[in-house]
Structure 1
Amino acid sequence: MRLRKAKRHQADHRRAAGGGPAAPAATPGLAVELRGIRRQYGRGAGSVHALAGVDLALPRGTFTAIMGPSGSGKSTFLQCAAGLDRPTSGSVRLGGTEITGMNENELTELRRSRLGFVFQAFNLLPSLTVEQNVLLPVRLAGQRQDRRRAAAVLAQVGLADKARRRPGELSGGQQQRVAVARALVTTPDVIFADEPTGALDTGTAAEVLGLLRHGVDALGATVVMVTHDPTAAAWADRVLFLADGAFADHVERGSAEQIAARMTALTSRTAGVMAGAAA
C-alpha cells in the first residue's frame, strides 16, 4: 500500500514538473475537483461539445446528484470525472490526485483501489459468489483479499447471509446491494453511481438510496450520482443541473417536487432555446 501511494506521488510530481504547464494546485478537503473541463467529439463544423467548460468542487463526505435533459452531457461528465474518458482540456482531481495526465495503467490502478462504481445493470460476474464479487476490486488491485472486510460490508447492506450465493440467486434489489458493497469495500475516495435505481421498483430503489446515504453519513463516503429521477435526487445533499454541457442550476436539500419543478423549467428553457436557434 505504501509503495502504491509513493508511486502516485511520484506520478503527480512528474506530471507537474514535466514539459507543459503544471496542473493547478489541489484544494484541501475536496473529493472531486474539476476545472475548465471540456469534451469535444469530432472536428470542424460537425464537432459536438458535450462539456463546455465545467467547474466543480465537491467536499469529502457529500452526496451530489447530477440531472439534466437528454443530451445535456450527464454521461460524459461522469465518464470524465471518473477517469473513464479523457477530457479535451481542463483538470480533474480525485481525492487530491491529478488524474488528467495519467496513462491507462495508472488510471486502471486508481479506479480499482480508490474509486467505487454502482451501475444500473449491477455489473456483477455471474460465475462468482457474492463474496467474490465484493472482493473483486481488491483482487484486481493485487491486494490481500480480506474476507472479514467483505463480511462487514455485506452486513452493512443487509446481505450477511448471502456471501456464498451467486448473483443469479438474488433479486434485482439484492444484486444492487452487492454492487454497493463492492463499491464500499476499498473505502474509496469517491463512489460514482450511474442511474443506480433505474432497474429497480420504488421500494427497492429507496433501500439502495438509503444505503448510499448511510455510506455518506455514517462512513464518510463521497457519492456522485447521475439520475433522471427527482425522487432519487432528493436523497442527495445537492442537485446540480446540466444543460448544453454546463451547469445551469442547482438545488440544496430539495424535495422531489422542488427538483422536478426545476427540471421541468430547465427542460422547457432548453427546448425554447433550441427552437429559437432552429427558426
Structure 2
Amino acid sequence: MGLRRGKRRDAGGTDPARGAAAVELHGVRRQYGRGRSAVHALRGIDLVLPHGSFTAVMGPSGSGKSTFLQCAAGLDRPTAGSVRLGGTELTGLKENELTVLRRTRLGFVFQAFNLLPSLTVEENVLLPMRLAGERPDRRRAADVLGRVGLGDKGGRRPAELSGGQQQRVALARALVTRPDVVFADEPTGALDSTTAGEVLALLRSAVDSLGATVVMVTHDPVAAAWADRVLFLADGAIADRVEGADPARIADRMRSLTAPRTLAGAAL
C-alpha cells in the first residue's frame, strides 16, 4: 500500500485551487516591539515555492530563519503581507481555523523529535490523525513506518530507539496525514553525520517519490545540498538563492553573508 496524495479541502471547507503554489509569501514583514527598540525580523519576503519541491533556508544567527518558518507555517502571524499555503490565504484565518489547517495539511519535523514518551511508535505516528478528529489508520501508519525503515518498531517506546530512529518516527508522523507541506526545523541538528544523511535521504525521497513539498531550515551546507534550492536570509530579507549547489558552493555563499558582519564588528 502506497501513500497517495488525495484531494484536500482548506480550513474553510473548499478545495485548494488546482495548480496553486505550495507556499507563497508576498511582502511578508514581522516586527516585534515598537519605536526605537523594535526588532524587524522579516523585512518584506517575496517567495513562491512549487509543489513537489525541496527548499533549504540558511542564514547567519539572527537573520530571520526561525521567524520565516513560523510565519510560513502559520505558527506566527506576520505584521504585514500575505501568506498562502496550497492556495489558502492564512492571514485572515481565525486561530481555530489555523489550528485545523496545521493539523490536516502541514507536517512538522523538529530537531528535538518531540515524541511523546508514554506512547508507542505507532501511537506517536497516528497522533496527528487523532488530533485532527480523523479515524486513526493503522495501515497508513504501517506504510509510512515501513518507508522510513521502522516497519518492525511500531510497538516500541521512543526511549527504546536511537536518536536517528526517533527522528525517523517524527518524519513518519509528519507524513501520515499526506500534508501539503512538511516544515523541518534543523531536523539533523542532533544527529551524527551518517544518521543525518539517512534522514535527509528520506526527506529527499518524500519529495521525489510522494510528491511532498519540504521547507527545511538548516545551518549545515551538507544538509542544504540535498535540497533543490537554497535561500539565504540576512537581516530579515532574502539575500541570495542558489539551485542544485554542492556543499562547497553553499558554504562559500554563507561565508560571503557572514564576513561583512564579522569585519564590521571588528571595526567597532
Name the TM-score, length of structure 1 as normaliser.
Answer: 0.90
Distance in 2 between residues matched to 1:226 and 1:9, nearest whole Å: 30
Matched with 2:82 is: 91
Distance in 2 between residues matched to 1:259 and 1:237, nearest whole Å: 12
Distance in 1 between residues matched to 2:247 and 2:68, nearest whole Å: 23
Higher helix share: 1
Which of 1, 15, 25 is the aligned partner of 1:34? 25
Matched with 1:253 is: 244
Q: How big is each residue's C-alpha offset from its partner over 1:205-231, in whole Å with a ceiling of 9 and x where there is no partner? A: 000000000000000000000000000
Matched with 1:21 is: none
Distance in 2 between residues matched to 1:85 and 1:104, nearest whole Å: 10
Alignment check: 8 A CA contact 2:54 2:204 kept: yes
Task: Specify the SS of the correspondent of 2:62.
Answer: coil
Which of 5, 30, 34 is the aligned partner of 2:9? 5
Q: How big is each residue's C-alpha offset from its partner over 1:101-127, in whole Å with a ceiling of 9 and x where there is no partner? A: 111111111111000000000000000
The residue type paired with residue 69 of structure 1 is P
Percentage of pairs with the same residue: 73
Alignment check: 8 A CA contact 2:26 2:47 kept: yes
| 1:1-279 pair list within 5 angstroms | 5=9, 8-9=12-13, 28-272=19-263, 274-275=264-265
Alignment check: 8 A CA contact 1:154 1:181 kept: yes
CA-atom RMSD in angstroms: 1.9
Q: How big is each residue's C-alpha offset from its partner over 1:48-107, in whole Å with a ceiling of 9 and x where there is no partner? A: 100000011000000000000000000000000001111001000011100111111111
The residue type paired with residue 12 of structure 2 is R
Q: CA offset at residue 46 of structure 1?
A: 0.6
Q: CA offset at residue 6 of structure 1?
A: 7.2
Q: CA offset at residue 7 of structure 1?
A: 5.5
Matched with 2:5 is: none
Per the alignment, do residues 160 and 87 of structure 1 end up closer, same or farther by CA in structure 2, a change over 3 Å counting? Answer: same
Alignment check: 8 A CA contact 1:69 1:242 kept: yes
Q: CA offset at residue 35 of structure 1?
A: 0.3
Q: How big is each residue's C-alpha offset from its partner over 1:108-153, in whole Å with a ceiling of 9 and x where there is no partner? A: 1111100000000000000000000000000000001000000000
Alignment check: 8 A CA contact 1:61 1:221 kept: yes
Per the alignment, do residues 42 and 7 of structure 1 end up closer, same or farther by CA in structure 2, a change over 3 Å counting? Answer: closer
Aligned length: 261
Distance in 2 between residues matched to 1:92 and 1:234, nearest whole Å: 26
Alignment check: 8 A CA contact 2:167 2:199 kept: yes
Task: Specify the SS of the correspondent of 1:8.
Answer: coil
Alignment check: 8 A CA contact 1:243 1:270 kept: no
Task: Specify the SS of the correspondent of 1:176.
Answer: helix
Task: Specify the SS of the correspondent of 1:30.
Answer: coil
Alignment check: 8 A CA contact 2:11 2:101 kept: no
Distance in 2 between residues matched to 1:167 and 1:6, nearest whole Å: 32
Name the TM-score, length of structure 2 as normaliser.
Answer: 0.93
Task: Specify the SS of the correspondent of 1:122.
Answer: coil
Distance in 1 between residues matched to 2:32 and 2:11, nearest whole Å: 32
Distance in 2 between residues matched to 1:39 and 1:89, nearest whole Å: 7
